[in-house]
A and B are shown apart, each in its own frame.
Chain A
Amino acid sequence: MIELENIHKSFGRKHVLRGVNLTVPKGESMVIIGGSGTGKSVTIKCVLGLVTPDQGVIRVDGQDVTKAERDSFLARFGMLFQGAALFDSLHVWENVAFRLLRGSLKRPRAEARELAIEKLRRVGLKPDVADLYPAELSGGMQKRVGLARAIAADPEIIFFDEPTTGLDPIMAGVINDLIREIVVEMGATAVTITHDMTSVRAIADQVAMLHDGVIQWTGPVGELDHCPDPYVSQFIHGRAEGPIEAVR
């Protein structure tokens, strides 16, 4: 279970998070929705320690993340970045097996390569992709490689940052289905950030709406369409008129 309690974060004069409170139950798929620049990515970066909150406490399975041993803490996580964030200088398989080639999870190269190819297959990529470089792949393939890397070490918790941004609708559907399948299959806790409502309906068990630095609403995905919250209603219907200012 991931718990965020009164998280605040400012960048210079910009107060991005103004007291985020959120609980993600173990084994659930939580999707955080919200407009661009509302602090969705900052929220998950705070959990991973990539950004240090100015105030508040984050607990994973009851343990304060700032007191956890860094390596073993991060070994529990997988993350798919918005632009895939693949390492340009490494082959696709070395990207997927990155964690398996070094550190506490290190295995022999041949074994790590086999595991990487297995994960690539899992995300629908053929083994001959393994020896290409990321720059030789299309955007959709890069996302799938990023997904394979996120699940390579069978993490307990997976974060997906805008998994379908920049993809065509069909590839976005493929990625959504893959995420759903993988999360169910692995029994992992998942947190996805998106403003793509098709993704929300495909991936989420629970939905949280982040606006103005706080969680405006949270609830099961089934209640989303009947949600009385004016912020959620405006967002999911994509209306320019409403409490959320169109020009931010």
Chain B
Amino acid sequence: MIGAVAKLGRATMRAIASIGRVTLFALAALRHMVTPPFYPREFGQALLNIGWYSLPVVGMTALFTGAALALQIYAGSSRFNAESVVPQIVAIGMLRELGPVLGALMVAARVASSIAAEIGTMKVTEQIDALVTLSTHPMKYLTAPRVLAATLSLPMLVAVGDTIGVMGGYLVSTTRLGFNSATYLQNTVDFIEPWDIGSGLVKGAVFGFLIALMGCFFGMHSARGAQGVGAATKAAVVAASVLILAANYLLTEAFFAA
């Protein structure tokens, strides 16, 4: 009995210590983002890797999600003769929830893993020590540009994903479900409010911050060897995904709870 309580206590202490470490790391990342020296080349490269190269995967995810959403809403709403709500629900579903969340989850899989693997490999091959000996702070050179780039590029990706997702719903609705093209678009535009778009973009920025933060955190704390880098990569993706879903709930609660 005492052994079980001790185990629970140790696990709780470890969890609290981990939260503390991540929080301190996040604060350090924020501080290094706003204090010189800045590394514009590294920032530009991160913007390209995180933002531009994620466009295809985010676009494809949004397209198929929007299309499937239209089919589901049509099937559901037809049970009480409310098929006409498809454009509105597709729009609100994509803009407020599915665009930011699914887009961020795809970017987490793509980017958090690659950041953790890259920085983890740098750590085990002493490249991070080399950076320090060359008078370059690893948090400034590696973490700050990536976290800033992800925080800025995720809202852009969400905006593109939202548009493509709504278009996916539009394509299925007009070609398969018999909706009039002009009416569908008009209903969508009339229904959307600025905060539907804005809330999704804010979520995108928060998710982007979390994705890069987890990639950098687990990369910097990677254990030695290939196994250590592999474990860091896995942990970064899992932590980023869970944090995205948890943050999404909290933000939705903050933005839309009555």
Residues on A lying within 8 angstroms of B by beta carbon are: 45, 48-50, 70-71, 74-75, 77-79, 81-83, 85-89, 98-99, 102-104, 149
Contact = CB atoms under 8 A, between A and B. Distances in A.
Contacts of A99: 134-135
A128 B112 CA distance: 35
A102 B136 contact: yes
A48 B133 contact: yes
B133 A77 contact: yes
B130 A45 contact: no
Contacts of B125: 83, 85
A50 B135 contact: no
A81 B132 CA distance: 12
A85 B126 CA distance: 6
A79 B133 contact: yes
B37 interface: yes
A125 B134 CA distance: 22
Contact of B132 (A50, A78, A83, A88): A50
Given A70-B135, A102-B39, 18 more contacts: A50-B129, A50-B133, A74-B132, A75-B135, A81-B130, A85-B126, A85-B129, A86-B130, A87-B130, A87-B131, A88-B121, A88-B122, A98-B134, A98-B136, A102-B37, A103-B37, A103-B136, A149-B134
A50 B129 CA distance: 7
A70 B125 CA distance: 23
A82 B136 CA distance: 20
B18 interface: no
A173 B126 CA distance: 24
A116 to B, nearest CB: 13
B129 A45 contact: yes
B23 interface: no
21 contacts: A48-B133, A50-B132, A70-B135, A74-B135, A78-B133, A79-B130, A79-B133, A81-B130, A85-B125, A85-B130, A86-B127, A86-B130, A87-B130, A88-B127, A89-B45, A98-B136, A99-B134, A99-B135, A103-B135, A103-B136, A104-B135
Contacts of B39: 102
Residue among B45, B127, B134 with the highest chain A CB neighbour number at 10 A: B134
A66 to B, nearest CB: 15
B138 to A, nearest CB: 11
Q: What are the 5 closest A-B residue pairs judged by CB atoms, nearest first?
A: A85-B130, A85-B126, A74-B135, A79-B133, A81-B126
A71 B135 contact: yes
Interface string B22-48: 000000000000000101000001000
A50 B123 CA distance: 12
Nearest to A101: B41
B49 to A, nearest CB: 10
Contacts of A74: 132-135
A149 B133 CA distance: 11
Contacts of B122: 87-88
A103 B134 CA distance: 9
Contacts of A50: 129, 132-133
Contacts of B131: 87
A45 B39 CA distance: 26
A104 B36 CA distance: 12
Contact of A82 (B37, B121, B126): B126
A83 B45 CA distance: 26
A81 B128 CA distance: 11
Contacts of A77: 133
Contacts of A85: 125-127, 129-130
Interface in B80-99: none
Most buried by A among B45, B133, B136: B133
A12 to B, nearest CB: 13
Given A102-B37, A102-B39, A48 B126 contact: no
B135 to A, nearest CB: 5
Nearest to B132: A50
B52 to A, nearest CB: 17
A169 to B, nearest CB: 24
A159 to B, nearest CB: 8
B155 to A, nearest CB: 26
B232 to A, nearest CB: 17
